[in-house]
Amino acid sequence: MKPTTQLQALGQSLWLDNITRTLLDDGGLQRYIDELSVTGLTSNPTIFDHAIKNSVDYDADIRAKLKAGKSGEALFFELALGDITRAADLFLPVHERTHGVDGWVSLEVSPLLAYDTQSTIAAARDLHVRAARPNVFIKIPGTAEGLPAIEEAIFAGVPVNVTLLFSSAHYVAAAEAYLRGIERRIATGLSPFVGSVASLFISRWDVAVAGKVPAELAMKLGVAVGRQTYKAYCELLASPRYRRAMNAGAQPQRLLMASTGTKDPKAPDTLYVEALAAPFTIDTLPEATLKAFADHGRAVVETPADGGDCEAVLAQFRAVGVDIDALARRLQTEGAAAFTASWNELMGVIAAKSAALASGA
- Please give the pLDDT value at position 1: 83
Instruction: Specify if 342 maps to a domain.
Output: yes
Using DSSP's 3-state secondary structure scheme, residue 137 falls into strand
- Please give the pLDDT value at position 45: 87
Burial of 361 (0-12, 13-18, 19+ CB in 10 A): exposed
Write out pLDDT tens, residues 209-221.
999 999 999 999 9
Instruction: Specify if 291 maps to a domain.
Output: yes
**For position 337, which CATH number holds?**
3.20.20.70
Q: Please give the tally of structural domains in the chain.
A: 1
- Please give the pLDDT value at position 195: 98
- Please give the pLDDT value at position 359: 78
DSSP string, 167-204: SHHHHHHHHHHHHHHHHHHHHTT------EEEEEE-HH
- Amino acid code (one letter) for 230: Y
Residues of the chain scoring pLDDT < 70 = 360-361
Instruction: Specify if 361 maps to a domain.
Output: no
**Rounded percentage of the chain residues whose pLDDT exceeds 70:** 99
Write out pLDDT tens, residues 278-308.
999 999 999 999 999 999 999 878 999 999 9
Domain carrying residue 165: 3-356
- Please give the pLDDT value at position 53: 87
Instruction: Specify if 112 maps to a domain.
Output: yes
Instruction: Specify if 290 maps to a domain.
Output: yes
Catalytic residues: 139
Residues facing residue 14 across a β-bridge: 38, 283
Instruction: Specify if 223 maps to a domain.
Output: yes
Give pTM, 2 decimals. Answer: 0.96
